[in-house]
Every structure is written in structure tokens, then in C-alpha cells.
Structure 1
Amino acid sequence: MNETTSSKPMYEKIFDEVKESIVTQGYKLGERVPSEKELAETYKVSRITSKKALEMLAAERLIVRKPGRGSFVADPSEDSHDQESTGSTAGSSTINSKEKTIGLIITDFGNSYGTGLIYGMEQASRDNDSFLVLRRTFGIPENEEESIQKLLNLGVDGLIILPAQGEYFNAEILKLVIARFPLVLVDRHLKGVAAASISSDNMKAALEGTEYLFDLGHTHISFLSPPPVDTTAVEDRIEGFIQAHAQRGIMVDKGLWVSDLTSTLPKFFNPDNIEHDLERLVSHLKSHPSITALFAIEYNIALLAKTAVERLGLRIPEDISIICFDSPPTDLGGGYSFTHMRQNEEEMGRIAVENVLNIMNGQPVPNKVLLDAHLVLGHSTGPVAPGKSL
């Protein structure tokens, strides 16, 4: 038997058969029913499918799911308030997430991006009586697939995933979407597939940052990024950069761009790659003396750009301006302050948790949520130097 042998979804077939066994007292009051793993093996289906069947049984208060122990035939005479641990939904407009566990799979996090996301998710989880389990992938697709499988085996009720850099979403994510498992993607979306996502409005943010440079007189701007590799966050920022040029009637010169920087990606982070990218940037700036500004797609690339400019004996912002996405707060550390587009990470994290909980409860959520980023002025941008504006 497999998941496609009948027109009725297999999780409904499993639900019907287990329900029948409960109603006819094949499974008696308080008796343990088969686990997700046991049902998956019996029906030769994925654990996503068997999990959904058990969730449906819990939603009808036929079983009580007890973390770490299993699922048991429920006592119909118990008060409905005692059923919160079954994972059933309240059917109201507010989130009912008692005992819910959410798996968070993220590439990595640091002081420039990611920490705020986790803060927002942790707070939202506490507010909604749910638990957050974190796994990092370091941008390696194989780690991502393994993390999804392990969290599903742990019995998480939903997943929030910041996908690894790559040319495609891995098969495990596609399985989750097909099985309608509660899933929210963060920082990028899945093209052509109805998976809920939450991210910054990267196109709008890049457009606004580029227009700010135009207003300072910069028209020869080098766009600095890793290879796009079909990553929607990168693609959208490139599109915003291009649109800004089109709106101002300024020609886009892709010969000024550097779009093959890899040393800031978690899986390529090592001293040799950093030095390679620095030499690449130094050589590029030497070859293109008309460049007056650099738009770095992320903070760590902005740091590379700053080092490359300083190696050439040039000044920031007098000779070259730099703008980027995100920059760590400098209130306490006294660090260098880049002009940057600040993403609302904590709000993004909060919405991601609330949306995955709403999906668990059968409530509709927007397919794509975009949050505004805001321009924060720092020390790295200024007017074009006299004589360099063309």
C-alpha cells in the first residue's frame, strides 16, 4: 500500500481505520494506539502522513497525545479543558498552541543577521506556550535534509526553515509542502509552490538604498553579492537595484558588479577564501576607477569592501561610499557604523511563529508576507568627491 493507491489521501484512510478501531473498542479507553513510526511502517507511508492522521484523531478528541509517551484513547467524559495536550484546535481566531513544538532550521546566525530573528521567535513561542527547537545547517543542503528528518522524528508539530543557499529547494522541503505539513519559510520563498513565507521586501529595500546613493550624486555603483544561485532574497535585491536605475534613467553597467563572492557563505568561510575575495575586490576597484560607491548585499561583504578600499589607500566615504543590508548595533561596542537597510528581524521571527501555529490550527495565513526595511545612516556614505561625478 502506498500514498497514491487511492483517490482518498492516505492520512484520511489511516484516520478512518484507527477511528473505527476506537469506536468498536478494538482500542479500549486509555489504551495506547500505534505511534507515527508504527503507522508509517504498517501503511508504508511517510511519517508526515501518519502524523497528520494522529493529529486529526486528536482534533476530534478520540486520542490524547502525551509527549514522550505516545497516543492513548481519550475518555470522552473528560472536560474539554483537559484535552489541551492533544494538540486539538480551538477553532477561534486566536492561536491555541498548547504543548506545540516548533522546529527551527537556520543556516547560521550572528550579530549582523539572525540573532534578532531568534529573539522574535523565542518571545512569540513563550507568548503562545510553545517550544522552539533549533538546528543550524551552515548553508549545506545535506545538513538541511538531515535536520528536517531528525526534527520530524522528534515529533515536532511544525517547522520554520531559513533554506540553505542552493540552486533548488531540497526534496525534504517539497515533501513537506506536498503533505501540507505546517511550514513557514523565512527570508525567501519557494517559486511556484504555495508554501507560506515571511521576509523583508528585499526589492523595495534595495531600490530605496540605491536611490539614496543616487541622491548623493553616485551613478557608478558596484553591486557586490555572492552568486544568486536562484536564491530569491539575492534575486529580489538585484531586481530592486536595477529598477532604481530604470526609474532614474541611469544605465545599469553590470561590468561594475562583482557577483561571485563566496567567502561570507557559511560553507565557504575560511581565511583562504576571504583573502581570495579581498584580492578580487582590490583588483576590481583598480580596474574600474570610475566606481564611487559600493552596494554590498550583506554586512560581511561590506566588511570585505571596506578592507579592500583601505588596502588601496582610499578613504570612506570621501573617495568611495559603502551601503549594505544590516549592520550590528554600535551603541555599546563602538564599532564602525555602515549606512544600511535594517531588516525588522524580531517582527519577522514573531510572525513566522504565529503563522506556523495558525497553520497547525487549520487557520489561513498569507502565502507571502513582506516587511519593510528602513534606511539607517552611518559613517560609510557621503557625496561624490569633486571631479568624480560623470
Structure 2
Amino acid sequence: MNLRGHIPIYKKLIEFYRNRIISQEYLPGAKIDSINKIMSRHQVSRETAKRVLQALIAENLVISQPGRGTFINGVTSMVKKWGMVIPFYSTNIEQLISEISKQAQFSGRKLEYFLHYNNPDEEMRSIGQLIQKGYEAIIIVPNYDESITGEFYRRLNPGKTKIVLADNTMAGSYFNYAIQSYDLGVTRAVDYLAEWEEKGNYLLLSSERWQGRNLVFDHMKQTFEMILEMKYPDRKLFHSADINDLSVDFFRGNNIRGVLAIQDSLTVRLIGKLKKWGFSIPEEIRLVSYGNTELSELFTPAITVVDCQYEEMANKIGQLINETSNLIGKQIIIQPKLIVRET
């Protein structure tokens, strides 16, 4: 590690070891570097090495056993809390949080949520901290490039904490998970858009205002393109990740007749723009939103949606957490459904 700079060396070293303990690069019960090892490994004084270990002991991250050494502390007591770790905050995620919160209350638990901003390092840190604090369960909506955190989940030792992964593609997992079938959701949306006699092209509207790759959007786009290729080869798919890039010329020039937006809040914004540009909905352009939050039903016109079935997902997550079995790898796949309203 780089010990140069204006931050004191001992603080850098404390952070170095703290991060590795929390992310479980050093597993609970494992022996941590001794004072002599810290001195030789990082070329620091004995006083600095002692200060680092003393700080880690004070934070209850390690425990010193006279004559044996210093070891990574394991969780000794659990707290009656569920933690939820999410990549970003949106109307869709808000709906899922609300439904899971109901399950937590039903189980006599408090739900707290933590943002990891689609950052795999922050995701791993958050999970490690909640395990260290003894949270009874952690529900994780992983960062949208799961491959980056695959090794972390493979070696993760949650102790008594229940881990449930939710609402992602999750092609493989070492823990229980409850997800939705994006393939089926996109298929139902595309088939509905294609029912219209007025043939034209389509737009998949996403949002990439956070860092990192989004494999879910990639997956939805690939599914959309595959359906068009197989069933409607005379129609094209356009993709936009920024609603501000769209214009009336884009819609008219590309003969856009149908839109699938990946969040209800995006759909509402798009409807406002389309009305401003003089389009009639659904006479000229059909819209389907992926979500079905309160916003989609209460908005005028009421929005046709692919219902993510967040209530059912939350029920299944609650069941996975409350199961007495210690078996992991249980996969529950929720089937989204199309709800036709006014768009």
C-alpha cells in the first residue's frame, strides 16, 4: 500500500486492515498480522504497529489472546434488524423496500437500507459491516455487474446472518435468492406493443446515471432484440440511456410506435415530453413501464405496466429469512405480468 501523503501512516494502516476484515478477505477466527509482521510488511515502527492493533481491538474487529496472537473477531450476539443493501434509489426500489419493510414488521424486526451506488467495493463493505454488527438478515440487490462480486459471495461467511439476494439476473448464487424473470417481463411487453396494427419501431428507455455497467439492462435489451428478430424482423429497436437526448425529430424520424421504459418515474417524464411534442397516447405511441409502483396507477393516464410483483417477491424473501433450515441455494423466480391500462 502507498504510505505517502499527508494522512498519518497509522490511520492508513488501520483502514487497510479494517477494509480487509469487513470485506472478509480475512475471515472470522483467522489470525491477523502480529506487531512484528506489521513492522516488516509495511516498514513501520513498533509504536505504529502497536497503535494499529490497539485501534482494531478498540473497534472490536479483532481480539487479542495472550500467548496465542490476535484473531479476527466473530459475531457473538445478533440484533433484531434486517438490513437491505441497494445499488440506487428509484420509485421501483422504493416499492420493493416498502414491501420488504412490511415483512420485517410482521416478523417483529426493523428494516434499514443502505446504498452502495452500484459500486461493488461499497457493496462488499456494507455487507461485511452488517454481518459484523450482527444483523439477523441482509437482503441484497447486487450491483448490476454481478461478475465483479462473484468471488466475494463465493467465500463470504455470514455466520448466523441470513443472506438473501433479490431482484437481479443472478445467473448463479451461493445464497438463497428471489428474483423476477426479466425474459418473461420483456416478452410480454414486446408482444403487447406489437399487437398494434400500426407497424413501426420501438424504443427501450433506460437510465445510466450511476457508475458501472448494468447487466440487467443489457439482458433486457438482448431479449427485446431477440424477440424482434424471431417474431417481428421488419421492426427495429432503438435504445436510449438518457431521456434528455430524446426529441420529437427522433420519434418521428425513426417511426417510434412503442416504448418500454425500465422505471415508472422515467415513463411519467416521457409522457410529459410526448404530450408537449404533440403526440397522442396511445393512438400514436404505446407505452409500457417496467415496475407498477403507485405512480403508474395514480398518474393520468394510468400507465400500462409490467408488474414486477414486488409484494410476492417480498413475501418469498420473508419466507427465506424465517425458514429454520440452513440449506442455501434456494432459487425462487417471480413471474411478472402485464397490466393493461391507458397507455
1:238 maps onto 2:221 in alignment: yes
Kept in 1, the 8 Å contact 2:296–2:304? The answer is no
Q: How far apart are 1:209 and its partner, in Å?
A: 0.9
Percent identity reads 14
Query: TM-score, normalization: structure 2?
Result: 0.68
The code of the aligned residue for 1:179 comes to L
Selected match of 1:119 from 76, 93, 98: 98
Cα distance per residue 1:62-99 (max 9 Å; x no partner): xxx4x6xxxxxxxxxxxxxxxxxxxxxxxxxxxxxxx6
Cα distance per residue 1:339-377 (max 9 Å; x no partner): 11111112212222332343xx45325543211112111
Q: Counterparts of 1:46 and 1:188 in 2: how far apart (Å)? A: 32
Aligned to 1:152: 131
Tell me the matched-pair count. 285
> Relative to structure 1, is the Cα distance of residues 37 and 320 closer, same or farther in structure 2, using a 3 angstrom cutoff?
same
Moved over 6 A (4+): none
Q: Counterparts of 1:148 and 1:258 in 2: how far apart (Å)? A: 33
> Relative to structure 1, is the Cα distance of residues 362 and 203 closer, same or farther in structure 2, using a 3 angstrom cutoff?
same
Aligned to 1:225: 206
Task: Trace 1:36-185 onto structure 2 (pairs within 5 A).
Answer: 37=60, 39=62, 50-51=74-75, 54=76, 65=77, 100-109=80-89, 112-139=91-118, 144-165=123-144, 167-168=145-146, 174-181=151-158, 182-185=162-165
Q: Counterparts of 1:244 and 1:186 in 2: how far apart (Å)? A: 26
Matched residue of 2:99: which SS?
Answer: helix
Query: TM-score, normalization: structure 1?
Result: 0.61
Cα distance per residue 1:209-231 (max 9 Å; x no partner): 10011112344222222359653
Q: Counterparts of 2:249 and 2:325 in 1: how far apart (Å)? A: 55
Matched residue of 2:326: which SS?
Answer: coil
The code of the aligned residue for 1:309 comes to L
Cα distance per residue 1:134-153 (max 9 Å; x no partner): 22345555654553344234
Matched residue of 2:289: which SS?
Answer: strand
Q: Counterparts of 1:230 and 1:368 in 2: how far apart (Å)? A: 24
Q: Counterparts of 1:354 and 1:36 in 2: how far apart (Å)? A: 34
Selected match of 1:370 from 328, 333, 338: 333
Q: Counterparts of 1:204 and 1:38 in 2: how far apart (Å)? A: 45
Cα distance per residue 1:48-71 (max 9 Å; x no partner): xx23xx5xxxxxxxxxx4x6xxxx
> Relative to structure 1, is the Cα distance of residues 180 and 251 closer, same or farther in structure 2, using a 3 angstrom cutoff?
farther
Gap runs ≥5 in structure 1: 4-8, 15-33, 55-64, 68-98, 262-276, 381-390
Selected match of 1:213 from 161, 186, 193: 193
Cα distance per residue 1:311-347 (max 9 Å; x no partner): 3222211221111112443699564311111111122
1:350 maps onto 2:327 in alignment: no
Gap runs ≥5 in structure 2: 1-19, 21-25, 32-56
Q: Counterparts of 1:331 and 1:260 in 2: how far apart (Å)? A: 20
Q: How far apart are 1:301 and its partner, in Å?
A: 2.4
Q: Counterparts of 1:333 and 1:213 in 2: how far apart (Å)? A: 22
Larger strand fraction of residues: 2
Name the Cα RMSD after superposition.
3.7
Aligned to 2:294: 329
Kept in 2, the 8 Å contact 1:185–1:195? The answer is yes
Kept in 1, the 8 Å contact 2:100–2:314? The answer is yes
The code of the aligned residue for 1:375 comes to L
Q: Counterparts of 1:41 and 1:369 in 2: how far apart (Å)? A: 43
Cα distance per residue 1:240-270 (max 9 Å; x no partner): 323432442424634xx12332xxxxxxxxx
Aligned to 1:81: none
> Relative to structure 1, is the Cα distance of residues 229 and 10 closer, same or farther in structure 2, using a 3 angstrom cutoff?
closer
